[in-house]
Structure formats: C-alpha cells, structure tokens
Amino acid sequence: MTDIHIQNLTKRFGETIALNNISIDFPAGSFTSLLGPSGCGKTTLLRLIAGFEAPDNGAIKFDEELIADAHRQKTPEERGVGVVFQSYALWPHMNAAENVAYPLKTRKVAKAEIASRVETVLDSVSLGGFANRRIEELSGGQRQRVALARCLVADAKIILFDEPLANLDMHLRASMIEAFRDIHRRTRATIVYVTHDQSEALALSDRIAVMHAGNILQIAPPVDVYHSPADQRVAGFIGRGTPVSGTVVERHAASALVDVGGYRLSARGVVNGSSHVQLLLRPEALSLADKGLPAKVQDSTYRGAIYETRLKLPNGERLTLDSAAALPAGTTVHIAVTDAWIIPD
C-alpha cells in the first residue's frame, strides 16, 4: 500500500492554469474520487501522478519518495501505477488474453506464470470465457473489463481511473460500480477515480475531492460533501436543492435558529459574520405539513419513485420538494424542515 502526497502542485498549459497550487494526500488504501465539471483539471492531476506530464511547480511523493517536481520526474514505468482510461486503449490486433498479458510480457515474467495470472484476473472481472475473443468482438462493457484486467494483472499499488464508465450505458455502469468496489476490497490499492458524475463519486469512494477551475474546494467523505458542503459552488454542484436566504435569530456553537420568510428553523453550521446566511435545504429534508415555511407550487414532475415539485418562496427564491403525488400549480403549501445547513461564506 502506498500513500500519494501532492504538495503545492501547479501545472500550466500556455495561459491556462490547469492546476493552481493544489495540495492533497491520498492515504494508502483509500478510494478518492476527483469530482468536478469538465475542464477543472481532473485529468491533468491524474496524468501528473501517472507520469505523462511534468509539474511546473510543487512535488509528488509516493510514501516519502520524491516522484516528480519541476526538475526531475520518474518515468511512468518506474512509478508502477495502473491507469484505466475512458477510451479503453486496448491493442486491436491482440485478443483479450494477449492484451491482459502485455504488461507482464514487457516485464519478462515466465510464460506459465503469465498464463495463470491472466486466467485468474480475467475470471475476477467475469471474462473467464472470453480469453480468445478479439477486441472488436467485445461490447463496450467487456472492453472496459479487459482494460481493467490489464491494469489489475500488474498488481499496482496505485490505480488511477479517468472516467472509466463515461462510454457505458446505465445498466453496465451499475455492474461496473460493483466491480470497482470489489477490486478495491480485494487489492487495497490506493485508488484515485476521476469523474464528473456525482452519483458515481457518492457510490464509490470513501472521500471526494471537489475540484473547480484548477483548485480543490473540499476534501471530505461523501456524506459530508453532500450534507455539509464547504461553499456555494460545492453546494450547487452536488445533489439537488438551491440555497435559500435567511436571517439568524439565535447563534449557538455549531447551529443557529434562522428565520426564513417568517418561519423559524434550526440549521447546522457556524455563523461567523453577518446574520444574513444562505441555507441549503435538500429535498429529502422537506415535507408537507400543516405548519411550516409557506411556499407556492410552481410545477410537479414525475420521476418514478417521487414527484419532484418546484416551489417558490414569498421572497421569490426556489425550493425543491419530493412529494408522493403531483401538487396543483398555484396552491400555497407549508413545508416542515428536518435538516438545514448554513453554507459557509
């Protein structure tokens, strides 16, 4: 197991600052997702860890060993990092087994050992019967499993994934998410998983690093990123629910009583400065009640398990409620709030 330490890393491409002085540790055996919109620097960070790019500033260490800084960089081969890309990057002229065997062949592992390791690893990704299939005879999901097997066969202590599910349909994604979790349990490798899909990040990782424009906004377990986002940008990027403004009536150490449109509710979080705060109200913390926050129904959209109902508060701000039935537009309802988070400034 290997720790990855990223210290004050900066990477520029001409005028673009792809990574802006970022620092983050990936503890040995952890599963961290890098989550953020397209262009925020996720792939760049992965490529720097793998050794396909050199930093302009800062350092990368594996445990205590310096792997790269602006002056010296170890080659990708010396780093021994496994990488799985969105585009499977398989050899089209080799069959599945030959693709998986490739990293062992280049390391001159004995033939018999290669054969047995390839067989074991193909089994582990449910491709036991596909060893002799040509790549073009495999579906997208099977190709991604071959890429995964090729990465696993090398027994890397660090595995990097760059949006590995982006080309797969919804059902395949669900089964691959299971496969990734299983691989993490078995290998205990240090995994860094890049995605712009929050549901993947929430489902897979023990920590999420939320990125924006070359910076890391928050590093926290999925539950904290979802329930206690570090700022407006994280709150807006993860989950549903828009910020609502309120006025603090009473301050406590880690909570406050807040007035929203004449209705008082208890909110988690610390009020440092002004008594005007922004609250995050997630749909699952809201329910219809006899007493509560007054709001006017805008529309209800059927989502299968629930109706997603959009509401307008007296001050014009919006709120989203999950309701069991469609609510008629224009009616006034009252909303009970079981959880609210004071978004830090």
Ligand X SMILES: Nc1ncnc2c1ncn2[C@@H]1O[C@H](COP(=O)(O)OP(=O)(O)O)[C@@H](O)[C@H]1O
Residues that bind Mg ion (CB under 5 A): 43
Smallest distance, ligand X to C-beta of residue 59, A: 19
Tokens found for residue 314: 């007296």
Strand duo 190-195 + 158-162: pairing: parallel
Smallest distance, ligand X to C-beta of residue 82, A: 18
Q: Can residue 212 be called a binding residue for ligand X (CB under 6 A)? A: no
Contact partner, 157, from Mg ion, ligand X, none, Cβ < 5-8 Å per class:
none
265 vs 342: CA distance, rounded Å: 11
The interface mask with ligand X, positions 100-139, x = CB under 6 A, is ----------------------------------------
The interface mask with ligand X, positions 36-55, x = CB under 6 A, is x-xxxxxxx-----------
Strand duo 293-302 + 263-268: pairing: unpaired
Q: Can residue 13 be called a binding residue for ligand X (CB under 6 A)? A: yes
Of the candidate residues 4, 9, 18, 280, the single one contacting ligand X (CB under 6 A): 18
Contact 197, 34 (CB under 8 A): no
Residues paired with residue 211 on neighbouring β-strands, in sequence order: 216
Contact 164, 9 (CB under 8 A): no
Closer of 143 and 212 to ligand X (Cβ): 212
Please give the angle made by the CA atoms of 231, 34 and 64, to the nearest 5 degrees: 110
* 88, burial (CB in 10 Å: exposed 0-12, middle 13-18, buried 19+): buried
Find where tokens 């669900």 sit: 174
Q: Can residue 15 be called a binding residue for ligand X (CB under 6 A)? A: no
Closer of 85 and 226 to ligand X (Cβ): 85
Interface residues with ligand X (CB under 6 A)? 13, 16, 18, 36, 38-44
